[in-house]
Amino acid sequence: MSTDLNLIYMPNGDVVNETNQDPAIPRVTGYVRYWIGADLGQANDYSAVCVIKDQALPTSDGNGIVVGPRERTVVYADKFKGVSYVDVVDYLIKLRNASPFGGKSELVIDGTSIGRVVSDMLWDQGVDHNAVQMTGGQEWRRSGRYVNASKTLMIENLAVLFAAGELNFARDLLLRKEIEEDLASFTTQTTAAGNQIITQSRNASGHGDLGVGLIVAGFASHYLKPQTILVEQLRGWF
């Protein structure tokens, strides 16, 4: 059987193989989805966004058609500052609805500090999302749209994904160098009591905004199941 399949990409992110109405050819459903992770800063600090493309496509294994291996790739990054919370919310909604993310993206924000304000604004507009509040320990739990997750767990999760080759950077990704610098600013230390804690040093890029955005997106892609995708209307754009 040919490994070259004619794939049909559905608006909701499902991907199916064309069968040409041949009953001998099974229809297999894979997917393409996007995890949008955002770190939100004060007015004079950077806010940053990283997007992970997450896909597993129908393919032929030589004996039949199966869902191929899962592939996760960092495909988009952006950072900005000096805008209002209203503009930040509009930016996130516009990005979530933009091609190719529209209809198949999940928004996850750092819900710490001003993240709660932005989360409330998103919620008031009917925008489904998760707000991740970083905690100590090694566990995570979800209550409604809020997720309390260990900072150590999330950073270690991202490190494992990269080390295992389960997450990669797109070759032409802008801001890749800054993301790598941000991630390098996080280090693990062991306390006198034998507990591991994560510390962060300031780097040339700032406060690790892009790194946090990717850490949140990576955590969501590994632990959170996709929710219902909605399309919202924008009030404006900056």
The predicted-structure confidence for 148-158, as pLDDT tens digits, reads as follows 999 999 999 99
How far, CA to CA in Å, does 173 sit from each of 74, 112, 180, 185? Answer: 8, 27, 12, 20
Mean pLDDT for 195-199 is 54
At residue 82 the predicted structure's pLDDT band, cuts being 50, 70 and 90, is confident
Taking the domains of the chain in order of start, what are their residue ranges? Answer: 35-52+73-223
pLDDT at 61: 86
Q: What is the mean pLDDT of residues 220-237?
A: 61
- Please spell the DSSP secondary structure of 42-53, one letter per residue: -TTS-EEEEEEE
Q: CATH second-level architecture of 35-52+73-223?
A: 2-Layer Sandwich (3.30)
Question: Which residues are bridge partners to 128 per DSSP?
Answer: none
> What does the pLDDT read at residue 112?
86
Evaluate whether 148 touches 133 at the Cβ level (below 8 Å): yes
DSSP state of 202: -
pLDDT of residue 196: 53
Short-list 235, 224, 210, CA closest to 38: 210
pLDDT tens column, 10-52 = 999 999 999 888 888 899 999 999 999 999 987 778 999 999 9
Question: Which neighbouring-strand residues pair with 208?
Answer: none
Predicted pLDDT at 200 = 54
The length of the chain is 238
Q: Which residue has the higher pLDDT, 122 or 203?
A: 122
Flag whether pLDDT at 1 surpasses 70: no
pTM listed for this prediction? 0.87
DSSP secondary-structure letter at 208? S
Q: Which two tokens stand for residue 226?
A: 């996709």
Q: Is pLDDT at 236 greater than 50 in this prediction?
A: no
The whole-angstrom separation of Cα 47 and Cα 80 is 6
Percent share of the chain, pLDDT over 90: 68
Nearest to 131 by CA among 117, 231, 63, 139: 117
